[in-house]
């Protein structure tokens, strides 16, 4: 049975405990996943915050990291699709398709222009569009205004 580790601060880390990942078609575990402790979670969050301080202004590097993620997903789509099938019980073709879909979104997100200013048209309401280097989130409020924020506004 496969046993997975976490990555914290760029290093593989074992957890003091694990839990079984159940294959719904068999009703039995097919892998063991790490049970993250509170201290490990805090360390991961601190590491991410430190890393972001250094690379938040390097837009080219961030775009390339997203493209690299897309390429890695495509290269292992069949293997990762099998894991999704085992983990979620979905048909293999759908699992592989989901991996390709995730790769598409990484590439799409890397292509977005990220506004760093707030734009609001007439104050009758607003439509928020936040581009925080994950997925585009659109939230419609009453009215027809537009409000866009760049990632750096949220990181201050």
Cα(3)–Cα(32) distance, rounded to whole angstroms? 5
- Judged by DSSP in three states, 116 sits in coil
pLDDT by residue, tens only, the chain of 156 residues: 888 899 999 999 999 899 999 999 899 999 999 999 999 999 999 999 998 888 888 889 999 999 999 999 999 999 999 999 999 999 999 999 999 999 999 999 999 987 655 454 455 555 444 444 444 333 333 344 444 444 444 343
Other residues' Cβ atoms within 10 Å of the Cβ of residue 126: 21
Q: What pLDDT is stored for residue 91 in this prediction?
A: 94
Structure-token match 């699709």, residue found = 81
Q: What pLDDT is stored for residue 17 in this prediction?
A: 93
Q: Comparing C-alpha atoms, which of 110, 11, 102 is closest to residue 61? A: 110
Q: Cα Rg for the chain, rounded, in angstroms?
A: 20
Domain ranges of the chain: 1-57, 58-111, 113-156
Q: What pLDDT is stored for residue 145 in this prediction?
A: 42
DSSP H/E element including 18? strand 17-23
């Amino acid at each position: 049975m496969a046993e997975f580790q976490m990555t914290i601060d760029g290093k593989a880390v074992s957890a003091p405990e694990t839990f079984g990942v159940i294959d719904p078609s068999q009703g039995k575990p097919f892998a063991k996943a790490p049970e993250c402790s509170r201290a490990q979670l805090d360390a991961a969050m601190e590491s991410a915050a430190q890393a972001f301080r250094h690379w938040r202004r390097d837009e080219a590097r961030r775009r390339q990291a997203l493209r690299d993620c897309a390429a890695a997903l495509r290269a292992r789509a069949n293997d990762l699709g099998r894991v999704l099938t085992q983990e979620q019980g979905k048909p293999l073709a759908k699992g592989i398709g989901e991996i390709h879909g995730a790769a598409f979104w990484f590439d799409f997100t890397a292509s977005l222009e990220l506004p760093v200013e707030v734009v609001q048209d007439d104050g009758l309401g607003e439509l928020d569009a936040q581009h925080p280097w994950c997925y585009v989130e659109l939230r419609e409020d009453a009215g027809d205004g537009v409000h866009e924020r760049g990632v750096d506004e949220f990181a201050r």
